[in-house]
Amino acid sequence: MSTIHLRKDKWTEQQKQLHEQVSQLPIKILQIGEGNFLRGFFDWMIYESRKQGIYDGAIAVTQPRLHGKPKIEALAKQEGAYTLVTRGLDQGKQVEQKEVISVFGAVFDPYEYWEQFLALARNESLRIVVSNTTEAGLVYREEQLQEGVAIQSFPGKLTKLLYERYQIFNGAADKGLICLPCELLERNGDTLKTCVLKYSDDWGYPEAFKTWVVEHNQFLNTLVDRIVTGYPDEAQANAWFEEWGYEDTQLTTAEPYHLWAIEADGSQMEKILPLQQAGLNVHWVDDLVPFQLRKVRILNGAHTLMTPLAILHDKEHVRETMEDERIGAFVRQTVEQEIIPVMPMDKQALQQYAQDVYERFLNPFIRHRLADIAMNSLSKFTTRLLPNYLYYMEQQQSIPSGLLQAFAGLIRYYKVSQAEAGQFVGKTLSGVTYTVRDDEALLQEVAAIWKQHEQAGQSLVDTMTELLGKTNIWGHQLAEKSPELAQQLADIIEEMEGVSHE
């Protein structure tokens, strides 16, 4: 069967027209991240705005990691066009909508085409930089600046791009960019700005440049919310391809619900990015914190809570996990009794939000793979659940048993060994192999610690103590901060494994 770009006869007239136009439009947006989420969220929003004739820019999309090359190449091969299927319940009504999205005016690998990346700096139309590189990608990591060699990290690449732009336009006030990071980190815009300034210091960029960065560029704090489930299972994908008359390796699926809260002056921003005008659920707000706390702690917190444990129990999807009597109840109880009580907000509204979230998790049309959610679980646990755990301990003077259980699940999930270069595998409680995706250096560290337990006979408690001592993972010296934790985790893991105590 032919791929999507070879069967435009199967597209609607509007889709064909918008696709033909996109290569003629000025590039107004640089997108760092080719993943499912941005394609099912931001790119869809731009497409919706284009459809209504209220946005006339194209996006240059690049991948944030060297090894994302195959994906960006696959997207480029199909002329940047891909299918998005939105399925689920929308205000109680069942909806299923299929759209060929076409918003990319350039699709390229920035590592191979570094000059093309830097050339974006001199593009006068460029206004926005949008990113989603997961929490692991929005970090500062020391890097050397080498002439002609691509910067590895996302914030590093952005710094270099901004510096080029600053030089080309002599620090013109109107040439600053607006960054819209979508990474689920609290105050993601502030974090990005801090990284840019740190790289500027490292690379000896002048103070005047840093002033320009701060005064004439915007690093907006944003909070995204939409469950984007990516490529569906093979049977569903094949059934659709049969029906549509073309194949699409970049097909992605999403729920109808979407929300984007952005800390910015909406009256100004809508002139540049008319998202509210397009009828999208976008909120320009003065204070993102309430949106942030509610969503990251409850929705993402619940995902982070359930994922390692559910995978260890051979579950594959969120819905079946929520439907599982034991794990489903564990998730609800932990959210309601350990997460919500320590949040400084109206508890009743939070409990209602949690109920809505469970409904979204139970969406019968969505198959949200735990394996996808599991990516970079170490940093997610550290940013989403660990602060909650520590705060609960301090505030309530007791152990939050659900969060502790989730912590033990996380650590047991990371009982990995290196299968081949860059690939780390673990085994579920019933012995099924799974692959863990996380920062390679961290995985190596964790695998080395588990190896001492597995092969050198180190006790489980000592192994836990060593793991808890890793401040680079937890941001705290947990072994010292909470001396009893190693024993508690070891007990839970032993119980999980079915090892009886003497």
CB of 64 to ligand NAD, least distance (A): 4
Distances (CA, A) of 250 to 67, 83, 246, 323: 17, 7, 12, 29
- Using CB under 6 A as the binding rule, whether residue 137 contacts ligand NAD is answered as yes
Contacts of 362 (CB under 8 A, 6+ apart): 319, 322, 323
Report d(CA 328, CA 416) in Å as an integer: 26
SS3 297: helix
- Using CB under 6 A as the binding rule, whether residue 304 contacts ligand 44H is answered as yes
Report d(CA 436, CA 443) in Å as an integer: 8
Considering only residues 37 through 56, tell me which ones interact with ligand NAD, judged by CB under 6 A: 37
CB of 496 to ligand NAD, least distance (A): 26
Partner whose binding site includes residue 145, from ligand 44H, ligand NAD, none (CB under 5 to 8 Å by kind): none
- Could you tell me which stretch among 35-43, 273-281, 340-348, 463-471 binds ligand NAD (CB under 6 A)? 35-43
The token pair at 502 is 């003497």
- Could you tell me which stretch among 77-85, 120-128, 300-308, 467-475 binds ligand 44H (CB under 6 A)? 300-308
Is residue 466 within 8 Å of residue 485, measured between CB atoms? no
Report d(CA 30, CA 62) in Å as an integer: 8
Report d(CA 11, CA 99) in Å as an integer: 9
Is residue 123 within 8 Å of residue 57, measured between CB atoms? no
Is residue 331 within 8 Å of residue 370, measured between CB atoms? no
Considering only residues 148 through 207, tell me which ones interact with ligand NAD, judged by CB under 6 A: 154, 184
Report d(CA 111, CA 164) in Å as an integer: 17
Q: How many residues bind ligand 44H (CB under 6 A)?
A: 12
Write the burial class of residue 331 (CB in 10 Å: 0-12 exposed, 13-18 middle, 19+ buried). buried
- Using CB under 6 A as the binding rule, whether residue 222 contacts ligand NAD is answered as no
Report d(CA 375, CA 251) in Å as an integer: 20
Identified binder of ligand 44H from the candidate list 18, 30, 162, 227, rule CB under 6 A: 227
- Using CB under 6 A as the binding rule, whether residue 309 contacts ligand 44H is answered as no
Partner whose binding site includes residue 363, from ligand 44H, ligand NAD, none (CB under 5 to 8 Å by kind): none
- Could you tell me which stretch among 166-174, 198-206, 223-231, 262-270 binds ligand NAD (CB under 6 A)? 223-231
Is residue 338 within 8 Å of residue 330, measured between CB atoms? no
Identified binder of ligand NAD from the candidate list 61, 106, 150, 224, rule CB under 6 A: 224
- Using CB under 6 A as the binding rule, whether residue 76 contacts ligand NAD is answered as no
Partner whose binding site includes residue 304, from ligand NAD, ligand 44H, none (CB under 5 to 8 Å by kind): ligand 44H
Number of other residues whose CB lies within 10 A of the CB of residue 4: 24
- Using CB under 6 A as the binding rule, whether residue 228 contacts ligand NAD is answered as yes
Identified binder of ligand 44H from the candidate list 226, 317, 319, 415, rule CB under 6 A: 226
Identified binder of ligand NAD from the candidate list 134, 253, 304, 334, rule CB under 6 A: 134
CB of 300 to ligand 44H, least distance (A): 4
Q: Which of 481, 446, 435, 486 is nearest to 462 (CA)?
A: 486
Nearer to ligand NAD, 193 or 226 (CB): 226
CB of 197 to ligand NAD, least distance (A): 20
Nearer to ligand NAD, 102 or 132 (CB): 132
Identified binder of ligand 44H from the candidate list 185, 273, 299, 335, rule CB under 6 A: 299
H or E segment at 350? helix 347-361
- Could you tell me which stretch among 61-69, 87-95, 373-381, 424-432 binds ligand 44H (CB under 6 A)? 373-381
The token pair at 428 is 């579920």
Q: How many residues bind ligand NAD (CB under 6 A)?
A: 24
- Please name the residue that has the structure tokens 């692959």: 435
- Using CB under 6 A as the binding rule, whether residue 373 contacts ligand 44H is answered as yes
